[in-house]
Amino acid sequence: MTEFIEFIKNNLELLYILILAIFIGVEVIKHIPAVLHTPLMSGANALSGVVIVGAILVMLHADPNNYLALALGFIAVVLGIINVVGGFAVTNRMLQMFKKKKK
Please report whether residue 35 would count as binding another protein according to CB under 8 A: yes
User: What is the C-alpha to C-alpha distance for residues 67 and 15, in angstroms, rounded to an integer?
Assistant: 35
Please report whether residue 98 would count as binding another protein according to CB under 8 A: yes
Please report whether residue 96 would count as binding another protein according to CB under 8 A: yes
User: What is the C-alpha to C-alpha distance for residues 12 and 80, in angstroms, rounded to an integer?
Assistant: 28
Please report whether residue 12 would count as binding another protein according to CB under 8 A: no
Chain centroid to CA 63:
26
CB 55 within 8 A of CB 76: yes
Total chain residues near another protein (CB under 8 A): 83
Site for another protein in 60-89 (CB under 8 A): 60-62, 64, 68-70, 72-89
